[in-house]
Amino acid sequence: MNQVSPPVAPPELESRRTRSQQVARSVLGGVLVLLGLFTLRDFLPALAWAVIFAIATWPLYGRAKRRWPPGRHNLLLPLLFTAMIALVFLIPISLIAFEAAREAQGVLAWVEHARQAGVPVPGWVHRLPIESDAAASWWQQHLATPDDASDLFASIRAGGNLRMTRQLGSQVAHRSTLFAFSIITLFFLFREGEAVIGQMLVASRRAFGARGERIGRQMVASVHGTVDGLVLVGLGEGLLLGIAYAIAGAPHPTLFGVLTAVAAMIPFCAVLAIGLASALVLAQGSTAAAIVLFVFGMVVVFASDHFVRPVLIGGATKLPFLWVLLGILGGVEAWGLLGLFLGPAIMAALILLWREWTAPAAELQEA
């Protein structure tokens, strides 16, 4: 019995069918990506932080992995690095929380005493270098008598404190969940990092060619440069100024050092912590120490923001520091703290694209 072969479609019809299938697959892939992003929308910042942590520490992790090759299950080294990164954040946060809890009771007791007995004008107000008489007059009118002090602190009520505590507790629980998710994701990135890097390289080549891989490497380099220029320099500023706080006699120098290190990760924001510490030293009556502390802090901030950071960040990303600064400040405005790293990475990719588009044709062919 003769078998009838299926009809063969004309080449034009087959080509049209192939194109329609490609379009359908592209549409389906785009819809699935959008659905995935919508599903994970609340966890996208946590995923982004995990990726940034992994990129920033991957060179160190790679050296450790070459020195101590992983065993059969490949668990110990990823777990060790994940725990180290978690402690980098948990130790300062725990220190700040401990100091805040220790001071909260004293602050509330002082407020209650002020409402009942008033607060007399302290001696350091009269020693202020400027506007001492105006400050003493304001204090006398608003804090010296129980009635005036009670009116000023009328907004501090038990019910308001309870609502504020509940809101704070809710925010702490939400942030803690995102942080835990970031740490868990970071562990799997360390464990499967080489496979993920290989897949990303294949995907970038297929989607964008060699240019896509160059852009990806430039963005990774910008993250490394930003970590060195912001985080490490910020920690250095916090250490130097923490020692200066202790020498000048500022209250809680360790806590202020930690706050300065965190604030210094954003350019020019360390000035706020330095100004507050200097004001507290001035309030204790040490005018000379306060002035020296403020001047020393400004010198440290100026040197860090104008000399050290441009070399570290600009050298890694090959960007002028103006674009680095715009990327950092614009990123913080658009993305929050995550923008500290996303902003420079986006600027680095844009500048690379601009340089390639404006480069002579011969240079593009060589690249």
DSSP 228-240: IIIIIHHHHHHHH
Domain boundary among 165, 191, 217: 191
> Does pLDDT of 38 surpass 50?
yes
> Does pLDDT of 320 surpass 60?
yes
Whether residue 36 is contained in a domain is answered as no
Question: How many CB atoms are closer than 10 A to CB 328?
Answer: 25
- Helical segments of 153-252, H only: 158-191, 193-208, 210-226, 233-248
Residues 259 and 233 in one domain: yes
Pick from 236, 220, 246: which is nearest to 270 by CA? 236
In this predicted model, what pLDDT tens digit does every residue of 212-230 receive, in sequence order? Answer: 777 778 788 888 777 777 7
Contact 89, 179 (CB under 8 A): yes
Chain mean position to CA 61: 21
Residues 155 and 281 in one domain: no
Pick from 1, 34, 354, 50: which is nearest to 211 by CA? 354
pLDDT band at 256 (very low <50, low <70, confident <90, very high): confident
> Does pLDDT of 174 surpass 50?
yes
Task: Please state the domain count of the chain.
Answer: 2
Residues in the chain: 367
Residue 147 to residue 143: CA distance in whole angstroms: 8
Note the pTM of the prediction, 2 decimals.
Answer: 0.69
Residues 171 and 311 in one domain: no
Question: Which backbone phi and psi does 265 adopt, to 5 degrees?
Answer: -70, -20
For residue 331, give the 3-state DSSP assignment: helix
Containing 271, the helix (H) or strand (E) segment is helix 270-283
Residues 119 and 232 in one domain: no
Least confident of 135-149, 244-258, 278-292: 135-149
Show Cβ contacts of residue 161 under 8 Å, excluding neighbours closer than 6 positions.
none
Residues 84 and 155 in one domain: yes
Q: Containing domain of residue 278, as a range?
A: 209-367
Residue type, 92: P
Whether residue 279 is contained in a domain is answered as yes
Residues 230 and 347 in one domain: yes
Residues 167 and 267 in one domain: no
Residue 163 to residue 170: CA distance in whole angstroms: 11
